[in-house]
Chains A and B, each alone.
Chain A
């Protein structure tokens, strides 16, 4: 079992519709657990997947995404 890293992403979410969409696309990815902070526009993802993969998945929502590194 590998140690999972917690990645922080900034996603330009403005409302529950946005965070709902983010949560739905992430749910479709197997092996991730995540937390969303809508007011701060932050998404924390715990996963052993590549950052690139997570980034592409988040971008599917059509919002701007920025990677803040691991926390």
Chain B
């Protein structure tokens, strides 16, 4: 399993956080996701055979939030 921290911009409240956690958390290969509104990022634990930092970041973009890989 891998862990990645992804920068997420455009969230303003807990409901934004929740919708990202729900939708990204239900993707195949995503084991765990924690989204922080204050730090504007998402920490995702995933199975590298099914997801990659790029695919996860793209999925967040697809929801209408700005997202980028920090490292």
Interface of A is mostly: helix
With A24-B64, A25-B63, A62-B63 as contacts: A14 and B23 at CB distance below 8 Å:
no
Q: Are B19 and A61 closer than 8 Å at their CB atoms?
A: yes
Size band of the A side of the interface? 10 to 19
Number of B residues whose C-beta is below 8 Å from A?
14
A51 contacts which chain B residues (CB < 8 A)? none
- The stretch of A1-9, A15-23, A40-48 in contact with B is A15-23
Q: Are B19 and A62 closer than 8 Å at their CB atoms?
A: yes
B39 contacts which chain A residues (CB < 8 A)? none
Chain B positions near chain A (C-beta within 8 angstroms): 10-13, 15-16, 19-20, 22-23, 62-65
